[in-house]
Structure 1
């Protein structure tokens, strides 16, 4: 069984009998916008949606990159057009929706993927560092979803909103105040949109990917796996299963599934995916409660807080397991015993 077939089995999708490399879905006739889709994860999403039959509006800030992305889709028999503009301003969101309608007649799917990084610790982060990341990720998601929702509600046939989050937004990460705030905000908006858009049969979900991209190649812990993927090598089980870390193509199947009719009953969810792992993130919820007649003052808190909540204080950051020792090291340790 191929990796693609395995993904299809896990997600309940059908694999075409005439090919082992393509997942067929009910996306024919659908029209999608994928922001930040010139390369990396966004390109994988756009290519997968097009392979499933959707017409795609590709978005990037680089004309050549956008044109190359469109060419890759059309060369494979898909339909695509490009709109080059930075995500964030309302004008870009309106232009993207207009491009979908003018080129393909409608809009059914929006994937908000565009993003940038300006990593540095809190005390060194400038206003521009913060504003740039929040503008692209958070405001860009808001403006694009707002315009898409207006169009989808006018059409009256439902729709799919898929917003890309991050483990950093779920757990935090050193040096990423701006990125963590934006990605956490995206998931919060998704939960709200799931309620607001339900009557219009528009679903809203977040995908939390972990994959080898330009953003993760700068993380030392992932470098060896990113380098392996760049060389076309298969990532080891430790990366794909223990870390849940894989390629952009590993994530694309989940995005296409959420865009399809098969996911009509799924909304307001944060779905993690990477390598061989598929996960459902919980919503924040109370893990312990306590009551005090008259409320809680300083004295009561200083006396009781540790006994009440000390054992259930929540951790922060992504726990990174120790990678397995190389085979040579294991053999040497056995001999030493």
Structure 2
């Protein structure tokens, strides 16, 4: 699988998952526009890609605005002659429970994740369509957007919204030959390093050792590099028929998430008034109500976090 001759933008690619995506795309032959808000971090990412024989330039700017989206596409065109692939990875966290979350906490996360994805995809698609490019849009979601998570109202809203936009874009972009997919990664990141449940997995990665099979297989939890292969595949010609999908990846696990579908349907002549619902709802739907959040199995004794 080669991406030779292609150009990619990867937002939020100075470190972590975004850097893994950028490096993998470059290894496959794509020229990459790296993006980060920290100039030193962005420069290090460009140097790392160059050291592996790849080509990259940096755009130091926070995604969200239309101006930055235009700047990113312009950098791809001016530096490498075009644009073929967009990976929207940039994000921030402002985790707080609902009553403690401020307007600023909410707006900051929505602006970077949701608006940043929207503005960058709109600008990239305009380029694809104007130049007859069968482009690739890969938007990064999260299990939180699929299932919810305590203390992440803003993040859950943004990530769920991204998947909703991807489904819409798959419809709108089909005639132009452009695909749009969401990747739902589960990997060791700066955030998961603070969670005691994942301590042994993170420690193994930091030592350069394989993560225990329990994490990689039972939880589908792995390294950033475990996610990068899916991003490269979706960016390639091999995935030309894959669009509108939400695909989870982590460790040794690959998952195709379903689109929301009705899990139960009932009819009542004349419609559903309050009295009928109060009488029948529990009988009809009580055993079919859907769960929220993620639940994890108990850790084996040898993988439990150490007391500190």
Residue of structure 1 aligned with 2:297, choices 307, 321, 329: 321
Query: How far apart, in 1, do the equivalents of 2:27 and 2:145 lie?
Result: 30
Equivalent in 254, 274, 278 of residue 278 of structure 1 = 254
Q: Which residue of 2 is the match for residue 34 of structure 1? A: 10
The Cα offsets for residues 156-181 of structure 1, whole Å up to 9 and x where unpaired, read as: 02100000000000000000000000
CA distance in 2, matches of 1:45, 1:238: 25
Q: Using the TM superposition, give the Cα deviation of residue 234 of structure 1 relative to its aligned residue in structure 2, in angstroms.
A: 1.2
Structure 2 residue 164 is the aligned partner of structure 1 residue 188: yes
Paired residue for 1:267?
Answer: 243
Q: Which residue of 2 aligns with 1:172?
A: 148
Query: What SS does the aligned partner of 1:32 have?
Result: strand
Paired with 1:137 and 1:230, the residues of 2 have a C-alpha distance of 28
Measure how far apart 1:226 and its partner are: 1.8
Give the structure-2-normalised TM-score. 0.97
Inter-partner Cα distance in structure 2 for 1:201 and 1:275: 31
SS state at 1:278 partner: strand
Q: Which residue of 190, 203, 222 corresponds with 1:246?
A: 222
5 Å-filtered alignment, 1:42-57, equals 42-57=18-33
Query: What SS is found at the alignment partner of 2:192?
Result: coil
Please report how far the alpha carbon of residue 217 of structure 1 lies from its aligned counterpart in structure 2 after TM superposition: 1.6
Residue 37 (structure 2) aligns with: 61
Query: Which residue pairs with 1:203 in the alignment?
Result: 179
Root-mean-square deviation (Å): 1.1
| Residue pairs, 1:1-337, within 5 angstroms | 25-326=1-302
Deviation at residue 311 of structure 1 after TM alignment:
0.8
Runs of 4+ in 1 over 3 A off after TM superposition: none
Kindly indicate whether the alpha-carbon contact (under 8 Å) linking 1:187 and 1:206 is maintained by their aligned counterparts in 2. Answer: yes
The equivalent residue for 1:16 is none
Secondary structure in structure 2 of the residue aligned to 1:326: helix
Larger of the two Rg values belongs to structure: 1
> Residue 161 of structure 1 aligns to a residue in which SS?
strand
Q: Counterparts of 1:179 and 1:295 in 2: how far apart (Å)?
A: 36
Gap runs ≥5 in structure 2: 304-308
Q: How many residues align?
A: 304
Give 1:230 deviation, angstroms: 1.7
What CA distance in whole angstroms lies between the structure 2 residues aligned with 1:87 and 1:217? 25
Distance 1:212 1:135 in 2: 24
User: CA offsets per residue over residues 34-71 of structure 1, 9 Å max, x none?
Assistant: 00000000000000000000000000000010000000
| CA distance in structure 2 between the partners assigned to 1:98 and 1:215 by the alignment | 32
Gaps of 5+ in 1: 1-24, 328-337
Find the aligned partners of 1:213 and 1:64 in 2 and give their Cα distance.
20
Q: Any idea what SS the aligned residue of 1:102 has? A: helix
Provide the C-alpha distance between the structure 2 equivalents of 1:242 and 1:116, rounded to a whole number of angstroms.
Answer: 28
What are the superposed Cα offsets for residues 189-246 of structure 1, whole Å, 9 maximum, x if unpaired? 0000000000000000000000001122222322332232122121101100001000
Rounded to whole Å, the distance in 1 between the matches of 2:202 and 2:149 is 19
Counterpart-to-counterpart distance in 1, 2:245 and 2:146: 13
**Counterpart contact for 1:117–1:215, Cα < 8 Å:** no
Structure 2: how far apart are the matches of 1:267 and 1:247?
Answer: 25
Note the alpha carbon deviations across 1:289-326, whole angstroms, 9 max, x for none.
Answer: 11111110110001100110011100000121111222
